[in-house]
Structure 1
């Protein structure tokens, strides 16, 4: 994970060592690896992720500060991760999920991505049956590239389809042609990879009919997994400036709700099951196990500039700029910029915030007493599944998913 703006926190130690509390209960938690690849061919106007075009980075002689040598620098951080976890007394666990995100990881040669995965095997260990995913843009891969990924041990590709409508893609500054998506899905499937299609709804100028067209086009590809996210106009982005100037209309809450319902109904009718508010899969074997590990509160190491990590209630985040990140690694220092140690109360709050978004929900006893008193009212308003509540589980209805943040506030008494 690599949000654009790091949170407030304490300085991270140069050696990266974790407090003793991080080791407690580690054997009961899965360990994942997120590798951030911050390079993009074009910066999309809506995106506030920690990404850079070649022009923004400029020339650099520092290995790892640009595309050349970047994969080797990632592997250097993986070696450091193994050392830090062992020195911190965290029990060894092989990595069960790997996710390369960005940016556009597939702007790097396939051999570089294979090298990162080899680094995971060499330094941390890769569990049998591990899920290994990379994000990709439809115009950043071809059949040969996808074959190389599969041969290296990748199991999934998550394609940034976003929309099937040209004017919507243009507003989002996406560079691929809609008609390329079915070809890429076919190539990935022929390579033996599972396929997820990522969609965005609520783009300025997108009609409900446009959105239906995009959902239908995604379903026609018969992917294993679909993610659909509401557009958020983040401060500081080019799109935010356009909205402020009146050049683009801001997303409308009612429009977003209508489009979510369109997607959910179409996906359900096609045999997809929602397992998290914004994610659907054909069956339990095709959910994104890596993302589930975030929502379950497992451990993950985030490698790369700006990447966030979590082990046993300790969160830390790396230096954001590739040059700063690479310089720290070159000096043998942890690239971590800051960190926070969550107390029990913060961890309990986070558990509610994350688990309530899942189709399985969470145990009623995990909700604070004041929130449990709200169950009946939330069920009467159609936000919680009444039958699930009777079984001692907190599960959102479709309407509840539309108002998930408000439900969480009620459950936490905020």
Structure 2
């Protein structure tokens, strides 16, 4: 379907029923203290919002959206599954404070049933956390924390316009562990202009010293419209170099694997199966999720929709009744196939050979010969170490 054509009647989303996968909820917190130069997420500083929206007006609207979604799901032939995962992202959720994040989880619980073993994650900026913060959210029911570290080098953080001090992320991770969190993630960004191998090694030293059980590492992408993109365009900073990015990835992988954190998705490493981010696995495995909050995306039963972006407009749409969606689309079989291949190939568990169309199967022998994939004994395609560096190209070959 044409997303633009559906936007006029988006309150009557063409939802029919749930799919067969896990059901999760993503909550988008659109507030940030400052805007990082590389970020193109749907976030707003207090100065940008003025008096048009506040954390309280956002929370009130969130409660309304969750209630409306629960009412809509209650009309489905299949009962709403227990929520297996919740992920509060942003933005900077920790700006809400421990009590604010407790209110967010209470709003979800008021409208949905959580599975007994539900994974409940919140992202946090190290500078807006404390031992008391972690104790409060742990008591509220959060089970996992994801901290934005990016780098241990001050000059790299400065290039990224990050405001936290280099040692604070490690301290925050230790505080989270002390508060009872078994599952703590640190995010890294590699390939920032000016970053050296020594800088990356120092970042990895810090990550390993923190004792976390999960690490996400992403190459820097210069997104159009960001302050970083403008600096690169003006020649003030060089664009990330692909060869450098590949070398940095190999360096990260070697250090983390040696320390007992194994890759399970191209950009994610975990110390055990239980340390893997189940919420993200729900995305990658084609599950259902409700995305609540300004600009959040949802996917239920093959229908995808996305909310209006501005927090004030979001609150207005919720107050008007119906879901605050800006547009939607119903995925075709071809689109579902494309997404299944694109996402599943990136997982260590790989893609079943039987799931490939004939054109994709025809490319397998060549990709094996080129050392990009291997076929396991149970007929699954798994990326090799070299294949992970060229994962996008492997996906293109399998889909051509």
Same fold per superposition (TM over 0.5): yes
Q: Is the 8 A contact 2:342 2:395 kept in 1?
A: yes
CA–CA distance in 1 between the matches of 2:47 and 2:188? 27
**Aligned residue number for residue 114 of structure 2:** 126
Alpha-carbon spacing, 1:356–1:9, altered in 2? closer, same or farther (3 Å): farther
Counterpart in the other structure of 2:154: 166
43-52 or 117-126: bigger deviation:
117-126
Match of 2:71 among 79, 83, 86: 83
Gaps of 5+ in 2: none
Is 2:61 the partner of 1:73? yes
Q: Secondary structure at the match of 2:119?
A: strand
**In structure 2, what is the Cα distance between the partners aligned to 1:223 and 1:71?**
31
How far apart, in 1, do the equivalents of 2:233 and 2:7 lie?
35
Please say if residues 18 and 88 of structure 1, whose CA atoms lie closer than 8 Å, have aligned partners that are also in contact. Answer: no
Give distance in 2, aligned partners of 1:167 and 1:95: 41
CA contact (8 A) 1:32 1:299 kept: yes
Q: Which residue of 1 aligns with 2:26?
A: 34
Q: What does residue range 337-376 of structure 1 map to in structure 2 within 5 Å?
A: 337-376=326-365
Residue 103 of structure 1 pairs with residue 103 of structure 2: no
Q: 2:171–2:210: 8 Å Cα contact kept in structure 1?
A: no
Question: Structure 1 residue 220: deviation in Å?
Answer: 1.3
Deviation at 1:150, TM superposition (A): 0.2
Normalised by the size of structure 2, how large is the TM-score?
0.96
Distance 1:237 1:10 in 2: 30
Residue 380 of structure 1 corresponds to 369
**Aligned equivalents of 1:91, 1:392: Cα separation in 2:** 35
Correspondence 1:236-385 to 2 at 5 A: 236-385=225-374
**Structure 1 partner of 2:397:** 410
Provide the rounded CA distance (Å) in 2 between the counterparts of 1:94 and 1:13.
29
Q: Is the 8 A contact 1:18 1:84 kept in 2?
A: no
Structure 2 distance, partners of 1:197, 1:397, is 25
Work out which of the residue numbers 184, 196, 203 in structure 1 matches 2:172.
184
Match of 2:387 in 1: 400
Correspondences of 1:214-229 after superposition (within 5 Å): 214-229=203-218
Q: How far, CA to CA, are the matches of 1:196 and 1:19 in structure 2?
A: 34
Mapped partners of 1:51, 1:363: distance in 2? 38
Aligned residues: CA RMSD: 1.4
Q: Alpha-carbon deviation of 1:12? A: 6.0
**C-alpha distance in 1 between matches for 2:74 and 2:8:** 18
- CA-CA distance at 1:254 after TM superposition: 0.3
TM-score between both structures, scaled by the size of structure 1: 0.93
SS in 2 for 1:75: helix
The match for 1:4 is none
Q: Structure 1, unaligned stretches of length 5 or more? A: 1-6
Partners in 1 of 2:194 and 2:13 — Cα distance?
49
Please say if residues 86 and 120 of structure 2, whose CA atoms lie closer than 8 Å, have aligned partners that are also in contact: yes
Q: Distance in 2 between matches of 1:133 and 1:119?
A: 15
SS at match of 1:139: helix
CA drift of 1:199 comes to 0.3
Could you tell me which residue of structure 1 aligns to residue 51 of structure 2?
A: 59
2:136 pairs with 1:148: yes
